[in-house]
Structure 1
Amino acid sequence: MITYLYWFAVVAVALFVLWGIGKYLRWKYGFIGALLVVIVGWFAYVFHYENIFVKHWGGVMTIEVPEGQVHIHTTWKDDNMWIENYDPAKNECYFTEYSKGNLLEGKVTIKNCNPLLVTSPKPEN
């Protein structure tokens, strides 16, 4: 819900800038100002607010599990989301970080992972 409220506010400010500058100065400058408001709003959302909104205020975020992998777990470390997926074809688990703006994404690979697979030692005959 907070995500929709944020974008409503960005669009409202952009329309206000378009109307205010366009009516009292020139429409060309109004369009440029509105475009700048939308661009700054987009950069602020992607590089700062997205993970914060999702974690703290119930924002909206969609992440797709890569094809051929199975989702296991999601956790938060500070304002960054870590997602664990399992690739049965390679028998590897992947921890992937989704940070602000996806600039510093970390990835940890665990080989021979075998999640949720309980193995008992083979009996010696």
Structure 2
Amino acid sequence: MITYLYWIVVLGLAFGAFFLLAKRTYWRAAAGCAAGILLVGWASYVFHFEQVFVKRFGGVMSITIPSGQLHIATTWKDDNLWVENYDPKTNTCYFYEYSKGNVLEGKVVIKDCNPLAGAALK
């Protein structure tokens, strides 16, 4: 819901600026201003607000687990999402970081990781 509200505000600002400037026959300035508002709104969403909306306000985000891997756990560290997967073919665990805007993504590889070994010992 918060995402829809954000985009309604961004689109409203862009169209409002366009129509205000276009009303006075400044078509180039109107198109440039509207495009600038849309670009800044998109960049702000991708590089800052997407994960903030998901974590703090109950937004929706989709992640696809790579083929052949099994999902183990997911956790938040600050505003970054960390996902742990297990590849049974190579006996390796992978931690993937999904940061804001996918700019600083991290990946941790743990070799000879068998998350089911503890269950077998009990």
TM-score (norm: length of structure 1): 0.88
Identity %: 56
Deviations for 1:71-94, whole angstroms, at most 9, x for unmatched residues?
Answer: 111100111110111112211111
**Partner SS state of residue 119, structure 1:** helix
Q: Which has the larger radius of gyration?
A: 1
- Structure 1 gap segments, 5+ residues each: 121-125
Partner of 1:37: 37
Partner of 1:119: 120
**Partner SS state of residue 59, structure 2:** coil
Q: Count residues in correspondence.
A: 120
Q: CA deviation at 1:17?
A: 1.0
State the AA in 2 paired with 1:72. I
Partner of 1:66: 66
Write the distance in 2 (CA, Å) between the matches of 1:24 and 1:69: 58
Partner of 2:106: 106
Deviating above 6 A after TM superposition, structure 1's stretches of 4 or more consecutive aligned residues are none
TM-score (norm: length of structure 2): 0.90
- Structure 2 gap segments, 5+ residues each: none
